[in-house]
């Protein structure tokens, strides 16, 4: 089991805990919109770290972003295997071709 899969399992397990016992449960209690907002905050912090921070800052912010993204995926019923399947589908397809094949709403 790789790190992401292991983390996905921990998040799934903790999502059923009481909000005062688990950060994941606390996020879930706030709802998908709040989780999505947290992902946006972490994405912004990751961008800032990439542009102005040391490597360690970028590593830490990236870990925060991935963690919160996994919480959001779990809250929406999307598994890592769903995401991996989409990445596999795109493998070998030019990024420009893949983007051009999307409908305007998907871009």
CATH class of 3-76: mainly alpha
- Grade residue 101 by pLDDT with cuts at 50, 70 and 90: confident
| Mean pLDDT of the region 27-45 | 98
Whether residue 107 is predicted with pLDDT greater than 70 in this model: the reply is no
Residue reference for tokens 């295997």:
81
pLDDT of residue 98: 67
Q: Could you read off the pLDDT of 42-100 as tens digits, one per residue? A: 999 999 999 998 999 999 999 999 999 999 999 999 999 999 999 999 988 777 776 77
- Sorted by where each begins, the domain ranges of the chain are 3-76, 81-107
pLDDT of residue 26: 97
Residue reference for tokens 């996020």:
27
Residue 57, judged by CB atoms within 10 A of its CB (0-12, 13-18, 19+), counts as middle
| Mean pLDDT of the region 10-31 | 97
């Amino acid at each position: 089991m790789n790190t992401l899969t292991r983390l996905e399992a921990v998040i799934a397990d903790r999502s059923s805990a009481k909000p005062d016992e688990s950060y994941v449960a606390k996020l879930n209690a706030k709802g998908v919109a709040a989780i999505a907002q947290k992902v946006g905050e972490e994405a912004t912090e990751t961008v800032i770290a990439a542009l102005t921070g040391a490597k360690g800052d970028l590593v830490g912010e990236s870990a925060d972003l991935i963690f919160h993204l996994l919480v959001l995926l779990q809250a929406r019923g999307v598994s890592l295997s769903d995401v991996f399947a989409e990445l596999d589908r795109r493998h070998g397809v030019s990024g420009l071709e893949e983007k051009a094949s999307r409908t305007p709403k998907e871009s």
